[in-house]
């Protein structure tokens, strides 16, 4: 039963990713199809879900279905880029700090302790506000870039701590001592010996953190810090604030459903991943035969 749930979740996750990828390609090649046509008027303003528009339309008459699908591109892309950034920062720092200890380690611990003393959302908001409208090397930062930079630059602490802890634990294990004794360079030890043994944690952390990245993106979009001219789930929920009192519930429902489904899938899959790597962490008790 658990297997089936995990496989189904993986399918859902793959579907979302495929959708996001498809929209990227479609936009690059300027295909006019489905979600890329979100701007098009699909019906009367605020028409409820019906035969032509399964999820109804918004204030501009745009198809909520198309907007929802488009929102996937933004959320998945942001979450993916933020994950890559935080892994790219967190893993090396954690490994270096854990392996070399001493002054370098103290500095790294100081940095992430400082970052983690500001509540997560506040930190992301602070970064996002400041990064918005700035320019790096002459390029102006778009809304979405600010968002994933903000999330990525602040979220590496968790994975860093994790890796650092594991490296410290593994550092004194026999297989590392053996590698040192036959003359392995330090770089080789870290990358060829240590990291592969702790990498499964990165994968588990990644799958569980992805959910929080999606939620962070939604909140940022909701607060108006995201991409201004594109539909996103957060913006849709923001619209819903005033729409609900008018009885217009479908935008809110669509966005919520979309977020809920991917979050659920990621949670289930992340759990299944964790259970398969370490049976002692099993959260379910086995049933009898």
Partner 1 sequence: MSTYIIRRLLYTIPIVFGVLLLTFALFNVVGGDISFEIAGGTTTQQTIDEIRQEYGLDKPLFLSWDSQFVNHFKNALTFNFGRARDREPVIDKIKRGIGPSLAITAPMFLGVVLISVSLSLVIAFVRGTMWDMLAVVVCVTGMSVPYLSFILFGQYFLAYKWGLFPVFFSPDLSMARNVALPVLIGIAAGLGGNVRFYRTVMLDEMRSDYVRTAFAKGLSPQRVLFKHVLKNAMTPIITRVVLAIPFLFLGSLLLERFFGIPGLGYLMVEAIGSRDYPVISAMTYMSAILFVVFNLITDICYLLVDPRVRLE
Partner 2 sequence: MSDNGALLSVKDLSVHFFTSEGIVRAVQGVGFSIKRGQTFALVGESGCGKSTTAISIMRLLPKPQGKIVGGQIIFEGQNLLSLSERRMRRIRGNRIAMIFQEQTTSLNPVYTIGNQIAEAIKLHQKTGGKEAWAAAVETLQKAGIPDPAWRAWQYPYELSGGMQQRAMIAMAVSCRPALLIADEPTTALDVTIQAQILELLDEIQKQIEMSILLITHNLAIVAERAERVAVMYASRIVEIADAKRIFAEPLHPYTRGLVESLPRMGFPGKRLHTIPGAVPAQLHLTTGCKFHPRCSIGGRDKRCQTTEPELKEIKPGRWVACWYAPEYKTS
Interface residues toward partner 1, by CB under 8 A:
110-111, 113-115, 117-123, 125-127, 129-131, 134, 211, 215, 218-219, 222-225, 234, 237, 240-241, 244-245, 249, 252, 256, 259-260, 263-264, 267-268, 271, 281, 283-285
Of 4, 246, 280, 287, the residue at the interface with partner 2 (CB under 8 A) is 287
Q: What's the closest the beta carbon of residue 8 comes to partner 2, in angstroms? A: 19
Q: Between the CA of residue 273 and those of 12, 199, 227, 263, 284, what are the distances in Å?
A: 15, 13, 33, 15, 14
CB 73 within 8 A of CB 23: yes
Sign of the CA dihedral running 14, 266, 201, 88? positive
Tokens at 136, concatenated: 């790096």
Cα angle vertex 76, ends 238, 139, to 5°?
85
Task: Write the CB contacts of 43 (distance below 8 Å, at least 6 apart in sequence).
Answer: 52, 53, 57, 61, 63
Q: How far apart are CA 217 and CA 206, in angstroms?
A: 16
Q: What's the closest the beta carbon of residue 144 comes to partner 1, in angstroms? A: 17
30 makes contact with partner 2 (CB under 8 A): no
Indicate the residue among 4 and 287 with the shorter CB distance to partner 2.
Answer: 287
28 makes contact with partner 2 (CB under 8 A): no
Pairing of strands 135-136, 139-140: antiparallel
283 makes contact with partner 2 (CB under 8 A): no
Q: What's the closest the beta carbon of residue 41 comes to partner 1, in angstroms? A: 26
183 makes contact with partner 2 (CB under 8 A): no
Of 28, 33, 51, 285, the residue at the interface with partner 2 (CB under 8 A) is 285
């Amino acid at each position: 039963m658990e297997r089936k749930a995990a496989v189904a979740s993986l399918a859902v996750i793959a579907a979302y990713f495929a959708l996001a990828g498809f929209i990227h390609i479609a936009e690059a090649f300027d295909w006019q199809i489905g979600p890329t046509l979100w701007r098009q008027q699909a019906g009367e303003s605020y028409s409820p879900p019906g035969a032509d528009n399964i999820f109804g339309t918004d204030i501009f008459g745009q198809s909520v279905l198309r907007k929802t699908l488009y929102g996937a591109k933004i959320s998945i892309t942001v979450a993916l880029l933020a994950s890559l950034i935080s892994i790219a920062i967190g893993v090396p720092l954690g490994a270096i700090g854990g392996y070399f200890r001493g002054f370098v380690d103290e500095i790294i611990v100081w940095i992430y302790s400082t970052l983690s003393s500001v509540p997560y959302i506040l930190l992301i908001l602070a970064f996002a506000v400041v990064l918005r409208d700035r320019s790096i090397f002459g390029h102006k930062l778009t809304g979405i870039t600010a968002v994933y930079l903000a999330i990525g630059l602040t979220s590496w602490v968790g994975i860093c701590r994790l890796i650092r802890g594991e490296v410290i634990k593994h550092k004194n294990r026999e297989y590392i001592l053996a590698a040192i004794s036959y003359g392995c360079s330090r770089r080789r030890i870290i990358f060829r010996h240590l990291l592969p043994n702790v990498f499964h944690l990165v994968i588990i952390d990644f799958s569980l953190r992805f959910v929080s990245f999606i939620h962070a993106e939604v909140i940022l979009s909701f607060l108006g810090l995201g991409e201004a001219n594109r539909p996103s789930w957060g913006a849709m929920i923001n619209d819903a604030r005033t729409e609900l009192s008018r009885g217009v519930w479908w935008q809110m429902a669509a966005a919520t459903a979309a977020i809920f489904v991917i979050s659920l899938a990621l949670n289930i899959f992340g759990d299944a991943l964790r259970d398969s790597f370490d049976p002692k962490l099993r959260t379910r008790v086995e049933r009898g035969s």
